[in-house]
Amino acid sequence: MKRILLAAAALVLSFGAKAQIESHVKWSYAAKKINATEAVVFIKATIDDKWHIYGLDVKDGGPIKTSFTFTKSKDYVTVGQPTQPAPIKKYETTFKMDVTYFEKSVVFQQKIKLKSANATAVKGQLEYMTCNDQKCLPPEDIDFTIPLGK
């Protein structure tokens, strides 16, 4: 009986090991110093075909909007809110509301005020949700570090 239970447990674990987390968005980051006290960080999402992520301005009661939380630092402070290009806007019956979203790729931007010459990177976390016309995946949180360069 023990062997049967062990074999069953091994079988279940082997299936779990083969299961992969579904991911349809790749994130990349860059920064550009404008001058000694200002920079802009760029956060790019490259999205698989037939999938989309939601904009920064989705209202409560809908899907999880894309959002950025920047780590507090003595070296920098964010200026204003992150910006996005013009999104696609569509009524989604699933959420019973208009939503904004992006397909293929999108670059978000955030202005940064540098408070120190020692500022070397901007850190934070982003949250987003990806969907296609069949399903939505659970929201993901991703930590990021964006080097500021010289």
Per-residue pLDDT reduced to its tens digit, 47-95:
999 999 999 999 999 999 999 999 999 999 999 999 999 999 999 888 8
Q: What is the DSSP string of 122-146?
A: EEEEEEE-EE-SS-BPPPEEEEEEE
Q: What is the structure's pLDDT at 102? A: 98
Q: What is the structure's pLDDT at 9? A: 37
Per-residue pLDDT at 15 exceeds 60: no
Domain boundaries, given as residue ranges, for the chain: 24-147
Q: How large a percentage of the chain has pLDDT more than 90?
A: 76
- Tell me how far apart the 2 most distant CA atoms of the chain are, in Å: 72
β-bridge pairing 38-47 and 105-114:
antiparallel
Q: What is the structure's pLDDT at 10? A: 37
Q: 43 near 36, Cβ under 8 Å?
A: no
Give me the chain's average pLDDT, please. 87
Q: Poorest-confidence range of 19-23, 34-38, 45-49?
A: 19-23
Q: What is 24-147's CATH number? A: 2.60.40.1250
